[in-house]
Amino acid sequence: MRNCHSKTITKAVFPIAGLGTRFLPVTKASPKEMLPIVDKPLIQYAVEEAYAAGIRQMIFVTGRTKRAIEDHFDAAHELESMLEYEQKQQLLDSVRNVTPDDMHCVYVRQASALGLGHAILCAEKIVGDDDFAVILADDLMMGETPVMQQMIDQYQQQQGSIVAVQDVPRSQTNLYGIVSGNESQGALLKINQIVEKPLPSDAPGTLAVVGRYILSASIFDELKKQQPGIHGEIQLTDGIASLLKKEDVFSYRFNGRRYDCGSKIGYLQAVVDLASCHPEVGESFNHWLANKVESPCTEVFKQKQVN
Ligand code: UTP
């Protein structure tokens, strides 16, 4: 069994091979993770969060329709030359800052969307024996201290796997992995049970797993043992359930706000909140929004949205 906890986390896995069906038709040929929050795509927020936490190797588990993500993190020589020639320094910086020189991107394909657990298993050879971070870009997290940094701070004290959690209404437990445990230390809880999407009546609690993890490399062996479910999917939750029988796994209530950008309503909330604070358009957007609230939906737009 592999169990060599390293003191720092240097690798993050970004599973981005899901089909994004809740956003069809926009996700038919374009990645959900490239949906913009004003002028920056979701995946860039996720990578910036990892980078701010000291992580330098970014491992993307990609699939069909995801090539735009590789282009986004690649150099864009023609565009950069043009911006340089036109002396548009701010725009040039915004393009160059996407990929700092000391950041290393690696891509691995998940040929079929066989579940989050399977996607993570696709990164095994690149991750190797190191403990690693997992970031789901469609959970946009805003914290005064970046959420992955908060988790690494916890990891350095506990040296065990850690999953980020938030309290949800009991009526929503069927949308999440739900954890329970009894040894808590502040925001940390030692987990003794994790269940995938339980009915509210069966849920062992209301602490829901959200899209940030630090995992021991032993998770790969546990994922390999999982039987695929009805759609051939391998669930990360089942791998974690198996892992916690052998090693400590903690949940961590992060400080900050989560936007579920895999859902339309969460995505729209993120756009509005971040547009309101945007240095370039925030003021005029807030002015427009204040008037808009008085007449929320125009009839002609209502008709256009029907199909
Ligand atoms: P989701 O279930 O939220 O994403 O998976 P989805 O499947 O893309 O979206 P919907 O539900 O059809 O609208 C959570 C994360 O796991 C990744 C997704 O890309 C997303 O970041 N994932 C999921 C994979 O990489 N591979 C999979 O087989 C499944």
Tens digits of residue pLDDT in 216-243: 999 999 999 998 876 789 999 999 999 9
Report how far Cα 140 is from the mean position of its chain's Cα atoms. 7
Beta-strand pair 188-196/249-253: antiparallel
Ligand 1 closest atom vs CA 14: 21
Q: What is the DSSP letter of 119?
A: H
Average pLDDT over residues 255-277: 97
Q: How far is the CA of 79 from the centre of ligand 1 (A)?
A: 31
Residue 259 near residue 269, CB atoms below 8 Å: yes
Does 177 sit in the ligand 1 pocket, CB within 6 Å?
Answer: no
Average pLDDT over residues 184-200: 93
Residue 266: partners with Cβ closer than 8 Å, 6 or more residues away: 259, 260
Average pLDDT over residues 168-172: 96
For residue 297, the surrounding DSSP H or E stretch is none
pTM score of the predicted model: 0.93
**pLDDT at 193 (0 to 100):** 96
Tens digits of residue pLDDT in 245-264: 999 999 999 999 999 999 99
Does 163 sit in the ligand 1 pocket, CB within 6 Å?
Answer: no
Using alpha carbons, list the distances in angstroms from residue 159 to 3, 97, 168, 271, 300. 11, 32, 27, 36, 57
Mean pLDDT, the chain, integer:
92
- For a mutational test of ligand 1's pocket, the pick from 136, 209, 264, i.e. the residue with the most ligand atoms closer than 8 A to its C-beta, is 136
Cα angle 63, 211, 257 (rounded to 5 degrees) comes to 130
Q: Closest Cα to atom 3, ligand 1: which residue?
A: 262
Tens digits of residue pLDDT in 79-125: 999 999 999 999 999 988 899 999 999 999 999 999 999 999 999 99
Q: Is 223 exposed, middle or buried (0-12, 13-18, 19+ CB in 10 A)?
A: buried
Residue 255: partners with Cβ closer than 8 Å, 6 or more residues away: 143, 144, 145, 147, 150, 187
Q: What is the DSSP letter of 23?
A: G
pLDDT of 17 over the 70 cut? yes
- Which residue segments constitute the domains of the chain, with CATH numbers given? 11-160+179-193+210-260 (3.90.550.10)
User: Hey, what are 164's tokens?
Assistant: 């980020």
User: Hey, what are 76's tokens?
Assistant: 């864009």
Q: What is the DSSP letter of 57?
A: E
Residue 189 near residue 179, CB atoms below 8 Å: yes
Average pLDDT over residues 14-38: 93
Q: Measuring CA to CA, which residue among 246, 249, 248, 274 is closest to residue 259?
A: 274
